Chains A and B, each alone.
Chain A
Amino acid sequence: MAYALVALGFVLALNAAGAVNFAHGDLVVLGGAVAVLLVGWLGLPGILLLPLVALALAAAGIVAAHVAILPLARRPPEATFVATIALAAMIEQGLTLTMGAAPHTTPPFLGSGAVTITIAGAGATLGLQPLAIVLVGGVLVAGLWLLLERTQVGRRMRAVAADRHMARAVGIPVARYVTLSLALSGALAGIAGFLLGHQFLVTPTQGAGHMLKAYIAVALGGWGSVPGALIGALAIGVFETFVSASIGDAWASAALYIAVLLVLTVRPRGLFGEPVGQRA
């Protein structure tokens, strides 16, 4: 579910900017780093840290929009690629300078224990942090769906994603919606970084790995498709878990890349990709 948050943030930024935000993976790491710094300064529990991390990374998303995306809106997408790659490098180097290269741990969202859930006599023990990731992820995915599908703001975000030129031509203030999308994208990345940082630690160089997973999820689900990104990310999570349990961690990534190549060979547009020019 944490992959889903990363991938959803990635696809929101992709649709709003019309180009890949290569700094997205580093925004995930920045979310974890902000949580580590805040807990060091304020000593707050995880449940109170989450909104602060979300706000901080929403602000980072707004900065990314105004520094690397909006000023280049009339340039070819390659300009945004280069600008966001530069932004990614700045975040990574900035974190290395301030935190050092050693890994850090974010605090747990609910606690570090485990709960046993019994249904019809059968019990299962779940760690609180994985449970928190599923719960927080589920709430955020539902909230994002409601925003995009049931509100005027969401309709206009989708209109901007579908055709920015035409969105302006019907009077939509496109720059404002691109900024909002990048803020949401940043907040989702930050929350994902905070939640993942407890289990998988936070190191400044993790950004490329997060970025790659999000890229694969979106390519698998259908380039630019929001539901596709969600399904793609969940599929990656389930696949990796299954392969790790069956043949070991070392083969999980290799098997994932082979599986993705096979899927894209059969369906080049991804699982939920729409015909070119008809995506929104």
Chain B
Amino acid sequence: MTVLDTGTFAVAAGEIVALLGANGAGKTSLMETILGFRPSRSIRLFGRDVSALPVERRIALGVGYVPERRRLFAGLTVEENLEAASRLPAVHRRRRVEEMLAAFPMLAERPHARAWLLSGGQQQMLALARAMIDRPRLLLLDEPTLGLAPLVVADLLARLRAVAAEGTAILLSEQRASLALGIASRGVVLSRGKVVRAALAAQLANDPQLADLMAGG
């Protein structure tokens, strides 16, 4: 089932697609277009045209977003960040928060800590948990490994594999191609706002021109 189709490429349920490109290639702009922060001619999500829908309605259809640099609600606690992002009724919301804390032991250690007091790794896990709180069908991640220690990156990527295995479509934006292609099934290279290459992840990983393509060459 196609869950995202910009007319240029699509992301299927349970699939991880790596969105590659240098800084300024247009990865964040594409994510913001999918979310509805920027106008678009045609964006299809979950089989329907959402071009006219505002951001909130698109999120409610089942989109989760982990932005670059995490952008947590800094003064809210871990639990509050999760609750604020949920549209579930109170009882289900509380149960879901407990489930997320159980799934992310790093967060369960500090459920009442303000977000700005967390370590970088904890903040990234909270950003991922916040995006997953209402079980999205499509997860957009913008440079999630930026500034993280190697062990935390490995943990994060393993989690993304597990989330995709449960049927969630994932669009993973990364500057570090090898990391993203290591867990993705396909890759899309952006340069100056345009798709310049789309191929299977294994093919892209072995493509000697990949670095040039990402640099806009």
Q: Which A residues form the contact surface with B (CB < 8 A)?
A: 152, 155-156, 158-159, 162-163, 165-174, 274-275, 277-280
Contacting pair B116 A274 (CB below 8 A): yes
Q: Within the complex, what minimum Cβ distance (angstroms) separates B8 from chain A?
A: 22
Q: Within the complex, what minimum Cβ distance (angstroms) separates A172 from chain B?
A: 7
Residues of chain A with a CB closer than 8 A to B73's CB: 158-159, 162-163, 166-167, 280
Q: Which of B59, B74, B114 contacts A171 (CB 8 A)?
A: B59
Q: Within the complex, what minimum Cβ distance (angstroms) separates A154 from chain B?
A: 9
Q: Tell me the residues in window 68-91 of chain B with beta carbons closer than 8 Å to chain A beta carbons.
A: 71, 73-76, 80-81, 83-85, 87, 90
Q: Which B residues form the contact surface with A (CB < 8 A)?
A: 35, 37, 55-56, 59-60, 65, 67, 71, 73-76, 80-81, 83-85, 87, 90, 93, 114, 116, 130-131, 134
Contacting pair B75 A171 (CB below 8 A): no
Instruction: Give Cα distance in the complex from A254 to B134, angstroms.
Output: 54
Q: Which of A166, A171, A174 contacts B67 (CB 8 A)?
A: A166
Residues of chain B with a CB closer than 8 A to A158's CB: 73, 75-76, 80, 84
Instruction: Give Cα distance in the complex from A274 to B116, angstroms.
Output: 10
Q: Within the complex, what minimum Cβ distance (angstroms) separates A11 from chain B?
A: 13
Given A170-B65, A173-B56, 9 other A-B residues pairs in contact with their CB atoms under 8 A: A155-B76, A155-B83, A159-B76, A159-B85, A162-B76, A163-B73, A172-B56, A274-B116, A280-B75
Contacting pair A169 B76 (CB below 8 A): no
Q: Within the complex, what minimum Cβ distance (angstroms) separates A171 from chain B?
A: 3
Instruction: Give Cα distance in the complex from A135 to B138, angstroms.
Output: 51
Contacting pair B75 A169 (CB below 8 A): no
Instruction: Give Cα distance in the complex from A156 to B80, angstroms.
Output: 9
Q: Within the complex, what minimum Cβ distance (angstroms) separates B79 from chain A?
A: 9
Instruction: Give Cα distance in the complex from A121 to B189, angstroms.
Output: 82
Contacting pair B55 A278 (CB below 8 A): no
Q: Which of B35, B56, B93, B134 contacts A152 (CB 8 A)?
A: B93
Contacting pair B90 A152 (CB below 8 A): yes
Contacting pair B74 A159 (CB below 8 A): no
Contacting pair B84 A278 (CB below 8 A): no
Residues of chain A with a CB closer than 8 A to B71's CB: 163, 165-166, 169
Provided the pairs A158-B73, A162-B74 are in contact, do residues A169 and B67 lie with their beta carbons within 8 angstroms?
Answer: yes
Instruction: Give Cα distance in the complex from A171 to B90, angstroms.
Output: 16
Instruction: Give Cα distance in the complex from A174 to B36, angstroms.
Output: 14
Contacting pair A171 B83 (CB below 8 A): no
List 23 A-B residue pairs with CB atoms under 8 Å apart, sorted by A's residue number. Answer: A152-B93, A158-B76, A158-B80, A159-B81, A162-B73, A162-B74, A163-B73, A165-B71, A166-B71, A169-B37, A169-B59, A170-B59, A170-B130, A171-B55, A171-B56, A173-B56, A174-B56, A277-B74, A278-B75, A278-B116, A280-B73, A280-B74, A280-B114
Chain A residue with the shortest CB-CB distance to B63: A171
Instruction: Give Cα distance in the complex from A162 to B70, angstroms.
Output: 13
Residues of chain B with a CB closer than 8 A to A168's CB: 37, 55-56
Instruction: Give Cα distance in the complex from A279 to B75, angstroms.
Output: 6
Q: Within the complex, what minimum Cβ distance (angstroms) separates B148 from chain A?
A: 19
Contacting pair A171 B60 (CB below 8 A): yes
Contacting pair B59 A152 (CB below 8 A): no
Residues of chain B with a CB closer than 8 A to A165's CB: 37, 71
Q: Within the complex, what minimum Cβ distance (angstroms) separates B49 from chain A?
A: 19
Instruction: Give Cα distance in the complex from A172 to B60, angstroms.
Output: 10
Residues of chain B with a CB closer than 8 A to A278's CB: 74-75, 116
Residue from B60, B71, B84, B90 whose CB has the most chain A CB atoms within 10 Å: B84
Instruction: Give Cα distance in the complex from A166 to B84, angstroms.
Output: 11
